Structure 1
Amino acid sequence: MPAAYGFTAYGGPEVQRFLDPPRPVPGPGELLVEVHAAGVNPVDWKVRAGMHRAFLHLDLPAVLGREAAGVVVRLGEGVDAFAVGDPVFGTTDRGCGGYARFALLTASRTALKPAEVSFTDAAVLPVAVGTAYDGIAQLAPKAGESLLILGIGGGVGVAAAQLAHAAGVSVAGTAAAAKRGFVESLGATVIPYDGAAFGERLRTALPNGVDAILDLVGGDALRSVLPVISLGCRILTVADPETAARFGAHPLKRESTTETLTELARRVADGRLDPHVRSVFPFEDAEAALREVESGHPWGKVALDLRAHR
């Protein structure tokens, strides 16, 4: 079997292929992990498309994947919080490398995997679920307040809805009408963005506006919810800085620490949080897994299982 899946040049899906790079060697602050599962995220195809070239410098060909879970096989210099044989999950070093038999994880952004948490669930926690945790922490909605999540049906939105709902926050979110049942199962009110009369549905669902908005869409998403942006509304966004400034929004900042990942795994283990891994592909179907995410319409999270074979 090939050792990894990645891309040989910046561009579309046609530049993706299986690769056979040498096994990585962990440097200071790194772990070498035998990967059991890897999360598949929109950031992966954006890296391949060259959207992150300005700040993520890669030598091509490069292996895709920003998060993974597996078993430690080697420790880099200065790593003393983990041991060989530990089941772990975390963020891949240098922002790529997770779609592989062996991957490097950054120790300061890696945590031990509880026995109650599957490798596929653990693998999808660092990026989307970690982003949701950071977003809710930065907005700090209190019990009884209202939160509107733009793009609630994706991996980040699904986790953010659960985290806010568990804190006693009244949650609503925009999503495709087809996801109504799924979103409502998270304890949130869905406001379908497709079809006519979105503004009317928005005002009906939130007649008094909202206390906070988590924008996970960018673009024109904030403009579309102007009717519920009242004075004092706290807004966190993934939109570009110019758009953010126009609406008085703040950028969503990532922390992704070992402590955060440990807390997320604890919540999954005791049933308070479900990352909703809806699609698990064997490694040989990595192309199909990324295609599902790149389509822009997955429900919940997508993962690769590197131990599964058809």
Structure 2
Amino acid sequence: AFDLALPDVDAAAADVAAGADLWAACRRRPRADVGALARVRTARAGWDELVLPARQTDQLRALAAAVRHRTTVLDAWGFGARSDRGRGTTALFAGDSGTGKTFAAEVIAHDLDLDLVHVDLSQVVDKYLGETEKRLARLFDAAEDGGMVLLFDEADALFGRRSEVKDSHDRYANVEVGYLLQRLEAFGGLAILTTNARSALDPAFTRRLAVVVDFPYPDRAARERMWEQSLPPALPRADVSTTALAAADLSGGAIAAAALQAAYLAADDGGVLTADHLDRAVRWELAKTGRVAGARVR
């Protein structure tokens, strides 16, 4: 999992001799390599916090298993000798905004005990010829050497369809996409792409994806579970019905945002969360998308 330089191996060994866990000692070594191109996050979310239908949950668990048992399957069982493609895994998480794509990437990174490298596309994409490829190469190398999970949020901005060449800009854009295709194929780690516009992705990427997971918009039962998880046990609250809250047509991301906003309202209004605080927060979340709440939360 970790392709460390000799000085890093020595440093990790010294940490272990001082009582550190071997995996944790290796994991700490390459964290600074991504620079400003991405944000390295320590994932903390577990499987019990992920609210998805069984089919999608099974796909995600299988994805984590593929990374965990890669050496056994490819080397010990001989599958790696049948192909000269890279040893890595590329997955696409597709679905509407707020349906849990990024959160699922955190869960997988936590399950694998790896850091999550959240790519900042504003720092990666550059107008100068060849500069974007150089920055992407740095990211892929750092993630591969450090055993990190590489996350491209809203990947359609970077992995878009190749177009008909009409001028030099089109030609360069197509070269950029072609480079990404080759680099993904050679990548030895786990790369996760998320998108809410799957049709905008270049079709050539689909053929190189090991897993495609469609994230559905949550139904009422799923929304109730999300509300229950969004209100921490330590939060002082009056008798609030999560069943009533689930009636509001919100995504998982919007539910988390509304719960946090309601908690701030409660902290500024006596220190106890009430249905009125939640009702106001839900209405504000619905208003973000031009919708109006129905009955009040009770």
Instruction: Report the TM range for the smaller structure's normalisation.
Output: 0.3 to 0.5
Alignment TM-score, normalising by the size of structure 2: 0.32
Alignment TM-score, normalising by the size of structure 1: 0.32
Bigger radius of gyration among the two: 2
| More helix, by proportion | 2
Using CA pairs under 8 Å that are at least 6 residues apart, name the structure with larger relative contact order, 1 or 2: 2
| More strand, by proportion | 1
